[in-house]
Amino acid sequence: MCGIIARIGHGDATETLLSGLENLEYRGYDSAGIAVQNGSGVKVHKTSGEVADLKATLDTRPSGNIGIGHTRWSTHGPPTDENAHPHTDTAGDVAVVHNGVIDNYDELRAQLQSQGHEFHSDTDTEVIPHLIDEYRQDSASTEQAIRKAIDTLEGSYAIAALVDGEERVYAARKGSPLVLGLDDDEWFLASDVPAFLDYTDQVIYLEDGDLVVLEPDSYRITDLGGTPVERPVDTVDWDPDDAGKGEYDHYMEKEIHSQPTALANTIEGRIENGTVSFDDLEPGKFADIDTVQFVACGTSYHAAMYAGQQLRTAGLQTAVIRASEYETSAGPIDESTLVIAVTQSGETADTLDAVRTAASHDAQTLAVTNVVGSTAAREADTAIYIRAGPEVGVAATKTYSSQAVTLTLLTQRLAADVPEATPVDDSEELLETLEDFPQHVETVLETSQARLLAREFMNSTSYFFIGNGLSHSVALEGALKFKEITYEHAEGFASGELKHGPLALVTEKSPLFAVSTGDADEKTKTNAIEAQSRGAPIVAVGPATSPLVDVADAHLSVPDTHPVWAGLLANVQLQLVSYHAATLLERSIDKPRNLAKSVTVE
Ligand code: F6R
């Protein structure tokens, strides 16, 4: 959570910092701030609220060629002006932005206060500029003081710091992401690439323990002992247009509508002569695996469930485990266990913890992620990318679709590798029909009646989503998306579970979305009728051929195709229902309350 940015070069930094922060707001939007160094002191501007609120407070833009910025998701202290970053030392000479959590801040704060340092916020971050200031008093250089300060910190951090009178930005990371962007005449540091993608696609993914010193014409990376380290320069293949809203009102709307393109990228080059191939997964790689465990959170967990269902059908011993429960629920893990971490951002703390636990038991680990160079991609034994392009809206949409498709292909690869598996009968048809899938998504987007239905059910008290087999996880995802951006009560269930409790909540004011894949829908039909006879309006979401359509009060239709793709098309319809319901309710679509996209705390 929290996004940080820094910029140093020859022109003015402020506009770059502000636009960069806007592209990082998916990481948190409780408060925003910048500090600019312009030769006459460090100037800090910060406020509670969003970057737009920060801009509104700046009558004239502060000018300076060096700056740092922050957008916050609160952990220590409420979202007030005082708790907004950057934080400074007592004299205001050192300014720091921070993403992460400093575990020993209580004792450091007490010690610094006893040495005369004045604190003005509730944050853990504020100890950092004071520590730097304290150590500067008896260090040969600021760089040395920063090394000492970092050495004193326990916890996780990506930090960037400015010091009055110095034409430099100092930065370091441990456990929180930090990327260096290299343009011709300016350097950037940020929590994520979209912060500076308008300016450069040349990046260095920094590693834990790296300390960076940026000057207008040079940069240096060293380890904490001061020894220079070499890091490769990568080219990011994301299009800068991917980072903006384009013609759409919201990022979420844009991202839902960009799914045909994103999916075409996901699929490209991965099916050759009727078989699945991934660049980094040579055939036979998984031959010695006997158990597969998926670990993930939220929407990624639902994508993992979708794949887990298919892998079980292929006869593989499979578990899909919520990453936050992994430590207590994983069961036996050894070198014949493959642990697949599904994480769009590659930075989710719970998922990273699960990967580390798995690795400590010698399991093989594989990250399925959207972000090249992310922590999950670097820490897992192997990474494969879903290639969805940057997703800014907090509610995951295109990344879910790309994850589910990538994982479905991976399932085919695993079934081919593992001797105990029985490749699914209709594998050929599955791969053949995938070719038309992006076009089918386009058809759903063009023909969907989701807005009409969202309007019709606007005054409901609860929204239920059911499905069985493959469509169970689609129902769970539909409910998650709905509650996340509408703030209305929504629940997803395995169809058969409805009668074991939830039916008590069903009334004529609780529409029920029944998801179908066109396969094994009879159970869902029976359970939908049970809800309907208690007054609930039923919406069938799936192919016209589904028996559910005969009994439903309304139908959100998807093209007839293989059940695996039909389930994902039904999900696109549900994304649209959530989006339209939330816009009709005038909710904050891209920045739902209390949430952030990249959840880097446990
Ligand atoms: C919901 C949503 C979250 C994420 C979850 C995991 O729309 O986006 O539930 O799916 O926080 O995030 P990643 O995939 O980055 O690990």
Confidence tier at 473 by pLDDT (50, 70, 90): very high
Give the pLDDT of residue 423: 62
Ligand 1 centre to CA of 494 (Å) is: 21
460 and 595 housed in the same domain: yes
Give the pLDDT of residue 425: 65
The ligand 1 atom nearest the CA atom of 376: 16
Ligand 1 centre to CA of 388 (Å) is: 14
What SS3 class is residue 188? strand
Ligand 1 centre to CA of 302 (Å) is: 10
Pocket lining: 395 vs ligand 1, CB cutoff 6 Å: yes
Instruction: For residue 429, give the amino acid letter.
Output: E
Question: How far does Cα 556 stand from its chain's mean position?
Answer: 28
In a domain? residue 440: no
330 and 294 housed in the same domain: yes
Pocket lining: 575 vs ligand 1, CB cutoff 6 Å: no
Asked which of 198, 219, 236 is the last residue of a domain, the reply is: 236
State yes or no: pLDDT of 397 exceeds 80: yes
The candidate with the shortest Cα–Cα distance to 368, out of 428, 413, 420, 315, is: 413
Give the pLDDT of residue 239: 77
In a domain? residue 540: yes
Q: What is the mean pLDDT of residues 282-291?
A: 92
The candidate with the shortest Cα–Cα distance to 370, out of 397, 409, 336, 408, is: 397
**Residue, of 599 and 143, whose pLDDT is higher:** 143
Give the pLDDT of residue 246: 85
pLDDT digits (tens, 9 = 90+) for 44-57: 999 999 999 999 99
The candidate with the shortest Cα–Cα distance to 385, out of 270, 524, 493, is: 270
pLDDT digits (tens, 9 = 90+) for 532-587: 999 999 999 999 999 999 999 999 999 999 999 999 999 999 999 999 999 999 99
32 and 160 housed in the same domain: yes
Instruction: For residue 79, give the amino acid letter.
Output: P
Asked which of 236, 263, 294 is the last residue of a domain, the reply is: 236
**Site to substitute for ligand 1 among 299, 481, 571, 579, most atoms within 8 A of C-beta:** 299
137 and 284 housed in the same domain: no
The ligand 1 atom nearest the CA atom of 400: 10
Residue nearest to atom 7 of ligand 1 (CA): 395
Residue nearest to atom 9 of ligand 1 (CA): 298
Q: Sign of dihedral through CA atoms 466, 591, 190, 77? A: negative
Give me the active site residues, please: 2, 597
Q: What is the mean pLDDT of residues 319-331?
A: 95
pLDDT digits (tens, 9 = 90+) for 414-428: 998 887 777 666 888
The ligand 1 atom nearest the CA atom of 399: 14
- Residues 338-365 as b/e (b if ≥16 CB within 10 A, e otherwise) read bbbbbbbbbbbbbbbbbbebbbeeebbb
The ligand 1 atom nearest the CA atom of 296: 16
Pocket lining: 14 vs ligand 1, CB cutoff 6 Å: no
Q: What is the mean pLDDT of residues 318-332?
A: 95
CA distances from 182 to 70, 97, 202, 236, 321 (A): 20, 20, 5, 12, 39
> What residue spans of 85-179 are helical by DSSP H?
105-114, 127-136, 142-152
The candidate with the shortest Cα–Cα distance to 146, out of 166, 168, 167, 129, is: 129
In a domain? residue 324: yes
State yes or no: pLDDT of 60 exceeds 90: no
In a domain? residue 441: no
Please give the structure tokens belonging to residue 31: 């408060």
CATH number at residue 95: 3.60.20.10
225 and 299 housed in the same domain: no
The total number of structural domains in the chain stands at 3
Q: What is the mean pLDDT of residues 255-273?
A: 95
274 and 344 housed in the same domain: yes
Give the pLDDT of residue 88: 97
pLDDT digits (tens, 9 = 90+) for 67-96: 999 999 888 888 999 999 999 999 999 999
Pocket lining: 300 vs ligand 1, CB cutoff 6 Å: yes
The candidate with the shortest Cα–Cα distance to 464, out of 489, 481, 487, is: 489
In the chain, % of residues over pLDDT 90: 84
What SS3 class is residue 290? coil
244 and 211 housed in the same domain: no
Confidence tier at 11 by pLDDT (50, 70, 90): confident
Ligand 1 centre to CA of 601 (Å) is: 13
Give the pLDDT of residue 551: 96
Q: Tell me which residue range forms the domain holding 368.
A: 240-435
214 and 286 housed in the same domain: no
Pocket lining: 143 vs ligand 1, CB cutoff 6 Å: no
Half-sphere exposure of 223 (CA within 13 A, CB side): 4
Residue nearest to atom 16 of ligand 1 (CA): 343
274 and 128 housed in the same domain: no
In a domain? residue 301: yes
Question: DSSP letters of 202-222?
Answer: EEEE--TT-EEEEETTEEEEE
What SS3 class is residue 556? strand
The ligand 1 atom nearest the CA atom of 394: 8
Pocket lining: 386 vs ligand 1, CB cutoff 6 Å: no
CA distances from 497 to 504, 524, 526, 538, 539 (A): 12, 10, 12, 17, 18
pLDDT digits (tens, 9 = 90+) for 153-203: 999 999 999 999 999 999 999 989 999 999 998 999 999 998 999 999 999
Give the pLDDT of residue 273: 86
pLDDT digits (tens, 9 = 90+) for 218-255: 999 999 899 999 999 999 988 777 777 889 999 999 99
Most confident of 341-345, 370-374, 417-421: 341-345
203 and 272 housed in the same domain: no
> What residue spans of 374-521 are helical by DSSP H?
375-379, 398-417, 427-434, 437-447, 450-456, 470-486
Asked which of 435, 465, 483 is the last residue of a domain, the reply is: 435
In a domain? residue 328: yes
Give the pLDDT of residue 242: 73
Please give the structure tokens belonging to residue 557: 């239709």
245 and 104 housed in the same domain: no
Pocket lining: 484 vs ligand 1, CB cutoff 6 Å: yes
Rg of the chain taking only CA atoms, in angstroms = 25
360 and 421 housed in the same domain: yes
Is residue 1 within 8 A of residue 69, CB to CB? The reply is no
CATH number at residue 263: 3.40.50.10490
Question: How far does Cα 287 stand from its chain's mean position?
Answer: 31
> What's this model's pTM, rounded to 2 decimal places?
0.89
**Residue, of 192 and 62, whose pLDDT is higher:** 192
